[in-house]
Chains A and B, each alone.
Chain A
Amino acid sequence: MEKPYMADEADICVIGAGHAGCEAALAAARMGLKTILFAINLDSIAMMPCNPNVGGSSKGHLVREIDALGGEMGRNIDKTYIQTRMLNTGKGPAVYSLRAQADKAKYHTQMKKTLENTDNLLVRQGEIVDIVVENGCVTGVVSESNALYKCRAAIICTGTYLKARCLYGDTIIESGPNGLRRATGLSSCLERLGVRLFRYKTGTPARVDKRTIDFSKMKEQQGDKKIVPFSFENRPEDIEREQISCYLTYTNERTHDIIRANLDRSPLYSGVIKGTGPRYCPSIEDKVVRFADKTQHQIFIEPEGEDTNEMYVQGMSSSLPEDVQTAMYRTLPGLENVRFTRTAYAIEYDCIDANQLKLTLEFKDIKGLFSAGQFNGTSGYEEAAAQGIIAGINAAAYCKGIEQLILDRSQAYIGVLIDDIVTKESREPYRMMTSRAEYRLLLRQDNADLRLTDIGYRYGLISQERYDRFLAKKKAIEDEIERISKINFGPSEKVNSMLVRFGTTPISTGVNMTELIKRPEMDYDKLAPIDEDRPALDYDVREQVNIQIKYEGYISRQMKQVEQFKKLEGRRIPEDIDYDKVKGLRLEATQKFKAVRPVNIGQAGRISGVSPADVNMLLVYLNM
């Protein structure tokens, strides 16, 4: 190859402008680093090539955490949502799930606008085909037009674009998602750099024309009346707007018959697809084969935006040929005459085993090279964005020579996510789930700001104004909890008649207010009539007061577990440890330790295939 020409210079180059790339670039630029964000096509910035929504179970937590760190996803969806719902409200505060339907086009436009108006940041169209590494450090990236962009750090956020191919039954097209051009150059460059790549697969359902759907045969699902913003910067009234409905329908035996009759034409079953697909995103043919006794599956019809007639058919992702897809979609009530605007497909792409990364998302063996998002073997916009902001912060911290950010499992879902992918074995694209967070009672979506705003502020990603408001909120919560702890009620007529009204037993002796809040039938707000000196407080303050008091017993039990956890995390393992010198380790453990290079005893214990005895051996060695 000819020597590239010197095109530009920056501190940080971000390769890919999906959800990970956008957060990474914004964080880096906002921290004052000169940043260039590359995309194969600038019209695909922050594109949502699959589901038209943000949030949901555990993913909503991620969005709130990103926001608390000063990221963009929450603000962007608040500006562009077309329906919002809080799910799981009956199942406990820790698993409340905020989810918003997005106007995909507006989501893209709005994010692009934000990027374009951020200081220190340039968005640039072009495929990056080479990363220049000198003496083990990143020094630049090269585009397909042989232009060299010198930089000190690079962040790979190639999503599903790397050597991607899309499968529509027997039709295979070498393209990125959504018919966009794929990226090809970087894979061989990475292999040359010693990065190990493998193939994952995922898929997306068809999009259909709204005018060909009979909604009268489906169940309408409206948004919530009460709007809850994702971003702590927004109040509900700031973002109120008219909401658009989703619809629910079901598959039936006719659908399943068509699928079964055509399985031989599915690349999944004929062996053409080699990548590993996620269990939580099964194609409809997968569901029919694996759950043969189910006579119907739920299918949700969701709008792709306000200014389009395209609808997303959730639950019908497929890699069957187009003619089969059309036939099976048309067996669904309400879709009898449906016409496709885009065909469902499966997509295969190059990604990495994130064991090659540090917890900072920097490659263990290449200084200044970071990666985030689907490239790291995850799936989902929120998972990508969560890694993106961490990679962005850490690339910037690397350039500045300040301490990099690692969130631990007791601090954030983001910490759980990154620790999981870096430490554990990867068998399928990784999806965040609340059951992965062992301290989830502490990692609630309602307290993400209390957990992480300080950190965002420290890295310069939270404005002074927002930080002051945050401190005021925190103080209001503390003051109110303190005030309540001193309030006792006697068994007066007023108190007891109110308690009886709420279906709880009256009191016969003096009782502290916290005890009443803890009763299953009661909460903080319900006690307002008898709490005469109660100050007027915002909803989010009252919510915290209520949760922190009501679930105190459970919360403090989990805090005890966290103390244990912290002790193990506090036992550092030196970077230059020679595992061959650790006596008594099993061979498998030695190999795992060498591959993952855990930074502390806690992480060492979480490596798949490592036993407690192995960890004990390590502990003993470290103390010798």
Chain B
Amino acid sequence: MLKVNLSDTIAAISTAAGSGGIGIVRISGSEAIELADNIFVSNKGKRLSLQKSHTIHYGNIVQDGKIIDEVLVSVMKAPNTYTREDIVEINTHGGHRAVTAVLNAVIKEGARLAEPGEFTKRAFLNGRIDLTQAEAVIDIINAKTDKSREMAVARLGGRLSEKIKELRESILTMLAHIEAAIAYPEHDDETMTYEMIEKGTREAIEGVKSLIASADMGKIYRDGIKTVILGKPNVGKSSLLNAFLEEDRAIVTDIPGTTRDIVSELVNIEGIPLNIIDTAGIRATDNVIEKIGVERARSLADEADLILLVFDGSRELSDEDRELIELTKDKKTIALVNKQDMEQKLDIDGTGIEPVYISVKNNKGIDEIYRRIKAMFDSGDIENDSMALISGERNKASLLKALQSLENVIETVENTMPEDFVSMDLTAAYEALGEITGETLEEDVIDKIFSEFCLGK
């Protein structure tokens, strides 16, 4: 029902997606410390709430008895913080998985996933940022709140939004039955038994769970399209990556990994973020196949959403090249024939691939690569299971909230608590799902009551 939240506790990953090294989950709000305390376990039994402001503590994030990650936690108390609220920052291991798992744990504890730019907005609203920065804040809100919602909704398209509509409709029907019976106690034909509610709710839970499962995979847009550059040694892979990096001044991070061998670079190509998977040594040795072997290349190719397969136009097609063509043949691949600035010896006729001819050295054909990538993206050619793009994490948070509410409904029904309490959680689930599609409750229930039931004096 609330359209705006001023100061509930919010959380988000504050390092950029896909960075190496470390990940930071930032929590801000009056319950930030309490909430972190619920999942932070220190070897020394420290309670974060008892620690001084601006201190760092070592321990584990533990939820439901499982260790999620080994972390460093900074506690910063209001008002001397970025948002002028209590802030906790959890430094996790790098890589998407660890930081996302910690974020999920935080959200499960009751934090709300922050809107884009919301930390900055709070900083501003709480008087932390001065007037000159206000314009920037407006831009952030302008650009992100409505547009990302619009885009998210537009991109939801097909299956997911249909599924959410279905779920909402079935929840609304249950709600309308309950509310109609409450508003018209003497009308005898609008009752819905607890068995019906329980059955309907369990179905909704299954529906939400399957969406959560697919939401896990649907993060391309936000986290970048997982892209791998493959090719035998000395075909110009690292130069190509550098060309991308140079082109894109909006690189989000470039922190070399310290604990893992995979480093990724997030680059923005025509508005499409590519998360280019690099290996620790790619720029140093440029000798991928040798170093990591075919098996490693295969597993990289398996994980990738998009492969850029690079050939050397100045050399003949080798066995290594053929091997790579073979292992990428069922993948979304863009073949690139590099070194157009030199004499061409490569003959790829008969391999069935239609390459882009480029010269990284002379910066030729790079635009054509971008065009190809964009075309594949726009046509939906590059995709994961679900295209719940942009707001993958946000959608998931909403789905988790809906799931929690629906589980509360089951608990209420099992405890044979009265209908009113069922209604409370069904409403919450309905609203949480509505967050994904941008719809709110408003008059829905009342409209439904009067359109479906014949009531009134």
Contacts and interface: CB of A to CB of B under 8 A. Distances in A.
Contacts of A278: 456
B125 A617 contact: no
A602 B423 CA distance: 24
B182 A88 contact: yes
A450 interface: no
Given A294-B454, A315-B457, A441 B6 contact: no
Interface string B1-38: 11111111000000000000000000000000000000
A342 to B, nearest CB: 16
B142 A92 contact: no
A587 interface: no
A95 B182 contact: yes
B137 A620 contact: yes
A297 B415 CA distance: 34
Contact of A619 (B4, B184, B449): B4
A280 B445 contact: no
A97 B442 CA distance: 24
A94 interface: yes
Interface string A291-332: 100100110100000000000001101000000000000000
A435 B185 contact: no
Interface in A580-603: 583-584, 601-602
B185 A619 contact: no
Interface in B165-183: 179, 181-183
Given A435-B182, A435-B183, A520-B415, A51 B3 contact: no
B182 to A, nearest CB: 5
A95 B456 CA distance: 18
Interface string A547-566: 00001001001100100110
A280 B4 contact: no
A557 B420 CA distance: 14
A109 interface: no
A95 B420 contact: yes
Contact of A441 (B8, B424, B446, B454): B424
A610 to B, nearest CB: 7
A294 B455 CA distance: 12
A287 interface: yes
Given A281-B457, A282-B456, A520-B416, A564 B5 contact: yes
Contacts of A434: 179, 182-183
Contacts of B418: 90-93
B89 interface: no
B138 A617 contact: yes
B265 interface: no
B455 A280 contact: yes
Contact of A624 (B4, B131, B442): B131
A132 interface: no
A290 B3 contact: no
B6 to A, nearest CB: 5
B142 A584 contact: yes
A298 B146 CA distance: 47
B134 interface: yes
A572 B424 CA distance: 29
Nearest to A221: B186
B222 interface: no
A433 interface: yes
Interface string A193-207: 000000000000100
B416 A616 contact: no
A619 B457 CA distance: 44
B417 interface: yes
A441 B5 contact: no
B329 interface: no
B182 A616 contact: no
Contact of B183 (A58, A290, A561): A58
A571 B179 CA distance: 32
Interface in A178-196: none
B226 interface: no
Given A568-B4, A613-B146, A619-B4, A583 B125 contact: no
Contacts of B423: 435
B111 to A, nearest CB: 13
A615 interface: yes
Nearest to B134: A624
A279 B450 contact: yes
A54 to B, nearest CB: 14
A280 B450 contact: yes
A612 interface: yes
A282 B418 CA distance: 29
Interface string A265-283: 0000000000000111110
A336 to B, nearest CB: 23
A348 to B, nearest CB: 18
Chain A residues touching B, range: 35 or more
Nearest to B147: A613
Contacts of B146: 611-613
Contact of B4 (A300, A584, A605): A605
A94 B423 CA distance: 11
B85 to A, nearest CB: 12
Contacts of B179: 433-435
Nearest to B3: A605
B187 interface: yes
B146 to A, nearest CB: 4
B125 A433 contact: no
A97 B4 contact: no
A97 B185 contact: yes
Contacts of B1: 438
A281 B184 CA distance: 12
Nearest to B422: A92
Nearest to B6: A567
B416 A612 contact: no
B124 interface: yes
B141 interface: yes
A436 B423 CA distance: 12
Contacts of B121: 616, 620
B124 to A, nearest CB: 6
Most buried by A among B121, B141, B419: B141
A575 B234 CA distance: 70
Contact of B145 (A91, A280, A616): A616
A568 B2 contact: yes
Contacts of A297: 454
Contacts of A95: 182, 419-420
A620 B138 contact: yes
B218 to A, nearest CB: 23
B185 A520 contact: no
A565 B421 CA distance: 20
B58 to A, nearest CB: 32
A564 B418 CA distance: 26
B183 A279 contact: no
Contact of B142 (A57, A290, A613): A613
B188 interface: yes
Contacts of A612: 3-4, 145-146
Interface in B99-152: 121, 124-125, 127, 131, 134, 137-138, 141-142, 145-146
A463 interface: no
B4 A433 contact: no
Interface in B402-457: 415-421, 423-424, 442, 445-446, 449-450, 454-457
A91 B454 contact: no
A509 interface: no
Nearest to A605: B3
A298 B187 contact: yes
Contacts of A298: 186-188
20 contacts: A90-B418, A93-B418, A95-B182, A97-B185, A279-B456, A280-B455, A281-B457, A287-B456, A315-B456, A434-B183, A435-B423, A558-B424, A561-B2, A610-B3, A612-B145, A613-B145, A617-B142, A619-B4, A620-B141, A624-B131
Nearest 4 A-B pairs (CB), nearest first?
Answer: A92-B420, A92-B418, A87-B185, A605-B3
Given A298-B188, A520-B415, A561-B2, 6 more contacts: A280-B456, A290-B454, A435-B179, A435-B445, A567-B7, A611-B3
